[in-house]
Structures are given as structure tokens and as C-alpha cells.
Amino acid sequence: LAKTTQPISMDSYEGQEVNITCSHNNIATNDYITWYQQFPSQGPRFIIQGYKTKVTNEVASLFIPADRKSSTLSLPRVSLSDTAVYYCLVGVNTNAGKSTFGDGTTLTVKP
């Protein structure tokens, strides 16, 4: 399983764009990159998934360079409610594939 490395913590202010980068140097050809958000005492919530280049949905964008050894989650105009732990997972896009959670990034949004 590909190991992921993220910054332990990040601070931001309301209304700013936040970019969280994840390193996954040994990502395999069949691996997808998935980001989750977790609030205290809750299960993780799916944010976005991608394989290469750029993916955008209603809450975030995911940038993946050509070598796929890293990825960046971009959260536009964060609010206080975006304060949470963010995890990037790398794993195969099949039902049998499993992913291992890294340490995650604790994002604190300040007023």
C-alpha cells in the first residue's frame, strides 16, 4: 500500500483558499487518490477522488501532477465549519482494494 505524507497541521482564516498537499511517492499505476474530512467523534466524509490532472466538484478541487507522486486538495473560501482533519488515501479503485489512512492534516480556520 502506498504510504502518504501530509503536514500535521495548517491554520487559515475565513474566506481564504486552503491548499493541502499529500505526498505519495510509491503510488502504483492502478491507485486512485481520495480525500476525506473528519470531524471529532464522527466517521470520515468523502470529499473528492481523482486519478490524474484536475478534478473539481461542488466543495473542492484536486490537483494531481503528471508523475502522480503528490496531490493537492484545494478548498475555496474556507469557513469556520471547515475546521477538521483531512486525510488523503491512495488505493486501487476496486471493491477488494483497501486503503490505509495516514496521519492526516488538522486544519484550523480562524475568524
Partner 1 sequence: GAVVSQHPSRVICKSGTSVKIECRSLDFQATTMFWYRQFPKQSLMLMATSNEGSKATYEQGVEKDKFLINHASLTLSTLTVTSAHPEDSSFYICSARAGTGGNEQYFGPGTRLTVT
In the list 46, 54, 65, 110, the residue contacting partner 1 (rule: CB under 8 A) is 46
**CA pair distance 94, 65, nearest whole angstrom:** 22
Is position 86 an interface residue for partner 1 (rule: CB under 8 A)? no
**CA pair distance 40, 62, nearest whole angstrom:** 24
In the list 24, 84, 104, 107, the residue contacting partner 1 (rule: CB under 8 A) is 104
Is position 98 an interface residue for partner 1 (rule: CB under 8 A)? yes
Is position 29 an interface residue for partner 1 (rule: CB under 8 A)? no
Is position 93 an interface residue for partner 1 (rule: CB under 8 A)? yes
Asked if 72 and 19 touch (Cβ cutoff 8 Å), the reply is yes
Is position 13 an interface residue for partner 1 (rule: CB under 8 A)? no
In the list 84, 87, 107, 109, the residue contacting partner 1 (rule: CB under 8 A) is 87
Give start and end residues of each alpha helix (H) in 35-77: none
**CA pair distance 48, 72, nearest whole angstrom:** 11
Pick the closest to residue 111 from 85, 81, 84 (CA basis).
Answer: 81
Binding site for partner 1 (CB under 8 A): 32, 34, 36, 41-46, 49, 87, 89, 91-104
